[in-house]
């Protein structure tokens, strides 16, 4: 190997400096060449410095496996240079081999070892000895470097693993946070759900117990929200609830909380209220916040709500009781008129319990066949004969007697039981009609059955009617379905479609309680109606009140102009009867002609003959 190539003087390319593993420090040029030549056979690069100072400069930039240091040098000798080398962190462990003449005394060697020399080599140099000594340190250096590299790799591996693990933990914590949020919030509105709201309420109660102060719960339920969902679709309903939650936020102070309990139920928690007088204004704010129309899917929607309020400590000690009482108060507000608020009163609880009991009794009553139908005759004023009967439900409640429908129909409607009960009434009336025909009553006798709005909403009314007609064998035109005006008006467009869809069955339709539901002439034209039943509130004073008389006359004229027949309900006096006949009312029904009676008495009733009309 070309020794000259391996040996680099200080002027050599600095890029090569990094490769030098042996630093040779000697002021004697010839000795340097000789040493370098001997070392060159090791195949390692050698960096040469001509003085201690130069060596120190090189050591500032490079790290060496071993330093060969001449002891005797002018200005700074090898001992001093070694001392300074040992003083530096970067090279305090680099092995130093002193190059010295044999003639130096032992004392120098001891100082040299004391300064960290690892070995001595004496001139004249024996190349094999030099190489053997240097090779030991080169090997040592190599091994140390390998160990260091392994150490670094291990460290970076540990770092990487730790980073992965940390990222995993962070993700896990984020997932946990998300789950916790989901478990405590309503997805649609982002408001606290019942669970979180109850926790907040419990905290507020604890706080109040310690420091005094009133806590109020305002419970809000939207009036007729189901109609929005049913007619405009679930998405519109959701959009309304979202918009609602935004408006509610504007009604409360920063420390108060709002929660959504599912469906159209919201609750507001008022913390630390100074006086009960401060609660009603918030409830009013809530109701007024709902007043401006909501624009959903480009359509204006008007919504109102019913609000119930309970207060700590007077209405309950714990969260559950307070929530239950606010709920009861809300129901009272809804029952009364909707769009209003009520404070809880102990009496309401009793009412709620009573109501629950009644619901259960009604369900059992239906199962145990305690419902029955009575029939009230309807007379044709043109010939005085019975034209038909109206089926009216009764509840024969054990230990109580006959309960009139006004005491329970609205509850059946609320709990949805009116649908099966209404179907039962339809079936029973049609079967009764068959029995009357078998007894010899005219086949053309009509039977009218009341149909609730809930049956309309159920979506299978037409099918039920068709099936019942077919099974009972009643002539379709003998069956008349009575639908109240308010049911039709609730959703005039949909109702008209449904009625038109049912005309194919051939049954007749009557508008019941006409005059109470604010329908307009325009609406009447839309419905395929055969009969209009004037509500008894107009008939009652028809003979004495000019306004009622004018109204009834107008209704009869208007209906006839549209090709619709008219029946007057609740006729109790001869004066009423005379008035109606004079105005060409087609039919009458009322206590004057006959009260509702059981089906098996109808034949005898009919046999009494026609009305005596002058
Ligand atoms: P409605 O359909 O308008 O029935 C007429 C009501 O007026 C009946 O009351 C009847 O007994 C009463 N009435 C008849 N003539 C007179 C009279 O001269 N004077 C007075 N003051 N009242 C008279 P009822 O039987 O108590 O029924 C009340 C309401 O309950 C019915 O009013 C109807 O809306 C509802 N209803 C009855 N049966 C059913 C049913 O099977 N299904 C549904 N959905 N509703 C029913
Ligand atoms: Mg009726
Ligand atoms: Mg009526």
CATH value at residue 538: 3.20.20.450
**219 and 319 belong to one structural domain:** yes
546 and 591 housed in the same domain: yes
Q: Is the CB of 455 under 6 A from ligand 1?
A: no
Q: pLDDT confidence of 11, banded at 50, 70, 90? A: very low
Would you say residue 430 lies in a domain? Answer: yes
How far apart are the CA of 456 and the centre of ligand 2, in A? Answer: 15
Residue 390 lies in a domain: yes
Reply yes or no on whether the pLDDT at 19 is more than 70: no
Same domain assignment for residues 58 and 154: yes
Which among 405, 422, 592, 597 is the best mutation to test ligand 1's pocket, defined by most ligand atoms within 8 Å of the CB?
405
**Cβ(305) to ligand 1 under 6 A?**
no
**CB 420 near ligand 1, within 6 Å:** no
pLDDT band for 4, please (50, 70, 90 cuts): very low
Same domain, 334 and 376: no
Same structural domain, 452 and 476: yes
483 C-alpha to ligand 2 centroid (Å): 8
Q: Which residue has the tokens 């159920």?
A: 458
Q: Please indicate, yes or no, whether residues 320 and 423 belong to a single structural domain of this protein.
A: no
Please give the pLDDT value at position 355.
Answer: 84
Asked if the structure places residue 614 within a domain, the reply is: no
Of the ranges 281-290, 337-346, 368-377, 503-512, which one carries the lowest mean pLDDT score? Answer: 337-346
Report the nearest-CA residue for atom 33 of ligand 1.
450
Say yes or no: CB of residue 412 within 6 Å of ligand 1: no
Q: Which residue, 149, 181, 213, sits at the end of a domain?
A: 181
Same domain, 251 and 198: yes
Q: What is the domain-level CATH number for residue 273?
A: 3.30.70.270
Q: How many angstroms does the Cα of residue 392 sit away from the middle of ligand 1?
A: 6
pLDDT at 470 over 80: yes
Choosing from 158, 181, 204, the residue where a domain stops is: 181
Beta-carbon contacts of 484 under 8 Å, excluding residues fewer than 6 positions away, are 453, 511, 512, 513, 516, 517
Q: Is the CB of 480 under 6 A from ligand 1?
A: no
Domain containing 324 equals: 194-344
The last residue of one of the domains, among 344, 378, 408, is 344
Residue 362 lies in a domain: no
Is residue 290 located within the same domain as residue 396? no
- Please tell me whether residues 210 and 324 are part of one structural domain: yes
Q: Is residue 353 part of a domain?
A: no
Choose the weakest-confidence range: 45-49, 275-279, 546-550: 275-279
Q: Provide mean pLDDT across the span 137-156.
A: 88
Q: Is pLDDT at 9 greater than 60 in this prediction?
A: no
In a domain, 186, yes or no: no
* Ligand 2 centroid distance, CA of 569 (Å): 9
Residue 236 lies in a domain: yes
**CATH number of the domain encompassing residue 7:** 3.40.50.2300
Residue of 374, 417, 569 best suited for mutating to test ligand 1, as the one with most atoms within 8 Å of CB: 569
Lowest mean pLDDT: which of 15-24, 167-176, 440-449?
Answer: 15-24
Does residue 203 share a domain with residue 166? no
Q: What is the DSSP string of 399-463?
A: TTEEEPGGGTHHHHHHHTTHHHHHHHHHHHHHHHHHHHHHHT--TT-EEEEEE-HHHHHTS-HHH
**pTM reported for the whole predicted model:** 0.57
Ligand 1 midpoint to CA 383 (Å): 25
Same domain, yes or no: 317 and 253: yes
**From the alpha carbon of 452, which atom of ligand 1 is closest?**
44
Each residue of 517-547: pLDDT tens digit?
666 666 778 889 999 999 999 999 998 999 9
Is residue 187 a part of any domain in this protein?
Answer: no
Ligand 1 atom closest to the Cα of residue 571 is: 18
Name the domain count of the chain. 3
Nearest CA to ligand 1 atom 8: 392
Distance from Cα 455 to the centre of ligand 2, integer Å: 15
Query: Is 377's C-beta closer than 6 angstroms to any atom of ligand 1?
Result: no
Residue 173 shares a structural domain with residue 206? no
């Amino acid at each position: 190997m070309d020794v000259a190539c391996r040996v680099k003087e200080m002027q050599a390319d600095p890029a090569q400096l990094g490769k030098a593993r042996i630093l040779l420090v000697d002021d004697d040029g010839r000795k340097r060449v000789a040493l370098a030549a001997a070392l060159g056979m090791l195949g390692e690069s050698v960096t040469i410095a001509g003085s201690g100072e130069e060596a120190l400069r090189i050591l500032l930039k490079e790290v060496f496996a071993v330093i060969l240091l001449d002891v005797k040098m002018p200005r700074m000798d090898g001992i001093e240079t070694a001392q300074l080398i040992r003083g530096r962190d970067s090279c305090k462990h680099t092995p130093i081999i002193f190059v010295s003449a044999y003639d130096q005394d032992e004392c120098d060697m001891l100082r040299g070892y004391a300064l960290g020399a690892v070995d001595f080599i004496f001139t004249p140099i024996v190349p094999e000895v030099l190489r053997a000594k240097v090779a030991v340190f080169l090997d040592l250096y190599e091994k140390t470097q390998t160990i260091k590299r392994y150490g670094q790799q291990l460290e970076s591996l540990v770092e990487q693993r730790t980073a992965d693990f940390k990222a995993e933990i962070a993700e896990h914590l984020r997932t946990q946070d998300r789950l916790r949020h989901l478990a405590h919030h309503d997805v649609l509105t982002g408001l606290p759900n019942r669970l979180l709201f109850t926790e907040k309420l419990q905290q507020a109660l604890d706080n109040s117990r310690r420091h005094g102060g009133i806590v109020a719960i305002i419970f809000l339920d939207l009036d007729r929200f189901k109609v929005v969902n049913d007619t405009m679709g679930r998405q519109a309903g959701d959009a309304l609830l979202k918009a609602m939650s935004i408006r509610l936020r504007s009604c409360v102070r920063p420390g108060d909380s709002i929660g959504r309990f599912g469906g159209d139920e919201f609750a507001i928690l008022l913390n630390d209220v100074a006086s009960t007088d401060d609660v009603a204004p918030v409830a009013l704010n809530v109701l007024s916040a709902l007043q401006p129309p909501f624009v959903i899917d480009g359509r204006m929607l008007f919504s109102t709500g019913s609000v119930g309020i309970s207060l700590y400590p007077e209405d309950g000690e714990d969260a559950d009781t307070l929530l239950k009482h606010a709920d009861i108060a809300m129901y009272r507000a809804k029952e009364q008129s909707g769009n209003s608020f009520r404070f809880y009163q102990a009496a309401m609880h009793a009412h709620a319990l009573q109501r629950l009991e009644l619901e259960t009794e009604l369900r059992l009553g239906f199962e145990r066949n305690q419902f029955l139908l009575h029939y009230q005759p309807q007379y044709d004023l043109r010939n005085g004969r019975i034209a038909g009967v109206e089926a009216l439900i009764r509840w024969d409640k054990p230990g109580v007697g006959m309960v009139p429908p006004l005491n329970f129909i609205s509850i059946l409607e609320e709990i949805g039981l009116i649908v099966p009960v209404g179907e039962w009434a339809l079936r029973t009336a049609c079967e009764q009609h068959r029995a009357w025909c078998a007894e010899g009553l005219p086949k053309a006798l009509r039977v009218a059955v009341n149909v609730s709005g809930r049956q309309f909403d159920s979506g299978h009314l037409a099918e039920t009617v068709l099936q019942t007609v077919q099974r009972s064998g009643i002539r379709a035109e003998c069956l008349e379905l009575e639908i109240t005006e308010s049911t039709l008006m609730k959703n005039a467009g949909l109702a008209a479609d449904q009625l038109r869809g049912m005309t194919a069955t051939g049954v007749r339709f009557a508008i019941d309680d006409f005059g109470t539901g604010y329908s307009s002439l325009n609406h009447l034209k839309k419905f395929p109606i055969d009969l209009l039943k004037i509500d008894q509130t107009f008939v009652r004073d028809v003979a004495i009140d000019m306004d009622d008389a004018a109204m009834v006359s107008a209704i009869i004229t208007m209906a006839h102009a549209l090709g619709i027949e008219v029946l007057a309900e609740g006729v109790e006096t001869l004066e009423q009867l005379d008035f109606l006949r004079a105005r060409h009312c087609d039919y009458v029904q009322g206590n004057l002609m006959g009260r509702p009676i059981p089906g098996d008495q109808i034949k005898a009733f009919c046999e009494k003959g026609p009305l005596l009309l002058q």
